Amino acid sequence: MSATPFVLSVVVPAYNEEEVLPVFQQRMLAVLQGLGCGYEIVYVNDGSKDRTLEVMHALRRDDPCVTVVDLSRNFGKEIALTAGLDKAVGDAVVVIDADLQDPPELIPELVRQWQSGFDMVYAQRVARDGETWVKKLTAKLFYRLVQRASRIEIPKDTGDFRLLSRRALDALLELREHHRFMKGLFAWIGFPSVAVPYRRDPRAAGITKWNYWKLWNLAVEGLTSFTIAPLKLASYVGFVIALLGFAFAAVIVYRTVAHGDPVRGYPSLMVAILFLGGVQLVAIGALGEYLGRVFNEVKHRPLYLLKGFAPSRAHAARLAAAPLPPTPMVDEGARAQGLESR
């Protein structure tokens, strides 16, 4: 494909994906072999409860292009993805779901765009087959909201399926925050980016790991880690209410002085108390969301811990060729176990 040889890493987070992984591997290998470059597939087992890990090791026995990263428990997709990216040795890296909703056949096009000079090539859905209209609508509303509230432009209808150049990846890996809203982080780092349209397929096998509660949490995550607009809103509302209260107080003082002091005003009193109480609770809630995040970040825990690590041939070769390449940051967990390798 290209005159200069390069290594492509494909990072695949997987949670309970035993059914789909062999099919995934087959389709992925067909694509990668067609590229005519060096490659590795980095599988991350995110604390699966089924035989996902065994399947991964079996795939690695079949083809040494496979790296297996085994997390100590389920950390969630965003962190599993980060663990895989930490271990990827490629000159470019593709992030893709295990369930074949992202077609591997799009990768050659992503690579072409990267070779023409883009650091971030993201796949953009033109259709969301197999998803309910509720999910489509909520997704749409959410992206509108984030776009408005933060100054970061998150491309519409994109997932994590994308290609990153080595320099974009190194930049991304410097962001070690615990509340990882990946789509936001991808957008935050900047660099020349381009979209490649594709059709998103329904899941090949297994079930989605998402439910509405998880999606809601992801939405809160996205908003609070990229904008402090809710906090600002709370202070503006507080300010307006204080003004109104002041005006109302003036009216009462005037009425008392001019017309004496008839005992009235229970309804208005009740309304004012309930309204203020509500506003205060909402504002405290918003504060709490941020405080909780500060609390989680200041603990400085490692993002994840590894239970096992089995490098691909490309990974081992990179190690032999350059024992100590500079890395922006290493994961504490892996280092503690003597597994840090890049």
Q: Which residues bind ligand UDP (CB under 6 A)?
A: 13-15, 17, 46, 74, 76-77, 80, 97-99, 101, 208-210
Please report how close the Cβ of residue 342 comes to Mg ion at its closest, in angstroms: 28
Q: Which is nearer to ligand UDP, 135 or 255 (CB)?
A: 135
Partner interacting with residue 82 (select from Mg ion, ligand UDP, none; CB below 5-8 Å by kind): none
Q: Which is nearer to ligand UDP, 230 or 333 (CB)?
A: 333
Whether the Cβ atoms of residue 69 and residue 13 lie closer than 8 Å to each other: no
Q: Which is nearer to Mg ion, 16 or 193 (CB)?
A: 16
Partner interacting with residue 80 (select from Mg ion, ligand UDP, none; CB below 5-8 Å by kind): ligand UDP
Q: Which is nearer to Mg ion, 99 or 119 (CB)?
A: 99
- CB-CB neighbours of 276 under 10 Å: 14
Q: Which is nearer to ligand UDP, 29 or 96 (CB)?
A: 96
Please report how close the Cβ of residue 163 comes to Mg ion at its closest, in angstroms: 19
- Written as six digits, the tokens of 247 are 């005006």
Helix axes 21-35, 52-62, angle to 10 degrees: 30
Please report how close the Cβ of residue 98 comes to Mg ion at its closest, in angstroms: 8
Partner interacting with residue 96 (select from ligand UDP, Mg ion, none; CB below 5-8 Å by kind): none
- Sheet containing 306-310: give its strands across: 193-200, 120-128, 158-165, 92-95, 7-14, 38-45, 66-71, 306-310
Whether the Cβ atoms of residue 98 and residue 20 lie closer than 8 Å to each other: yes
Partner interacting with residue 210 (select from Mg ion, ligand UDP, none; CB below 5-8 Å by kind): ligand UDP
Antiparallel, parallel or unpaired: β 66-71 and 306-310: antiparallel
Q: Which is nearer to Mg ion, 99 or 160 (CB)?
A: 99
**Closest Cα partner for 17 from 111, 106, 80, 88?**
80
Partner interacting with residue 102 (select from Mg ion, ligand UDP, none; CB below 5-8 Å by kind): none
- Cα–Cα distance measured from residue 37 to residue 31, given in angstroms and rounded to the nearest whole number: 11
Q: Which residues bind Mg ion (CB under 5 A)?
A: 97, 99, 101
- Written as six digits, the tokens of 279 are 């506003």
- Cα–Cα distance measured from residue 81 to residue 42, given in angstroms and rounded to the nearest whole number: 10
CB-based contacts of 191: which residues, under 8 Å, 6+ apart? 119, 120, 165, 167, 168, 171
Partner interacting with residue 209 (select from ligand UDP, Mg ion, none; CB below 5-8 Å by kind): ligand UDP
